[in-house]
């Protein structure tokens, strides 16, 4: 999942979240927000969208391992 910069219509990616699907769960692999765009709610929006996406696929959960 990506969020692009539509202000400039440049296609610049300003946020991304990678999901890995397993039999019974979905894992967040990559989750990043461009530093100048942090603390503006993009992370919450991206996580919320990921949760809704996972629910559509009837997964038992969404997990993330901190590294």
Residue range 45-52: mean pLDDT, rounded: 88
Spatial separation of the C-alpha atoms in residues 5 and 28, rounded to whole Å: 22
> What are the domain boundaries of the chain?
2-64
60 closest CA partner among 27, 16, 17, 18: 27
How high is the pLDDT of residue 54? 80
The pTM of the full predicted model, rounded to 2 decimals, is: 0.71
Give the best-scoring range by mean pLDDT among 5-14, 29-38, 48-57.
Answer: 29-38
Looking at the structure, give the CATH architecture of the domain made up of residues 2-64.
Answer: 3-Layer(aba) Sandwich (3.40)
How does DSSP assign 5-64, residue by residue? -TTTTS--EEEEEEEEE-SS-EEEEEEEE-GGGTTSSHHHHHHHHHHHHHHHTT-S-EEE
> pLDDT tier at 33 (50, 70, 90 boundaries)?
very high
């Amino acid at each position: 999942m990506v969020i692009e910069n539509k202000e400039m219509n440049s296609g610049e990616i300003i946020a991304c979240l990678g999901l890995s699907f397993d039999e019974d769960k979905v894992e967040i692999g990559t989750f990043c927000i461009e530093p100048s765009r942090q603390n503006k709610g993009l992370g919450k929006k991206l996580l919320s969208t990921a949760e809704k996406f996972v629910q559509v696929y009837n997964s038992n959960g969404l997990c993330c391992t901190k590294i």
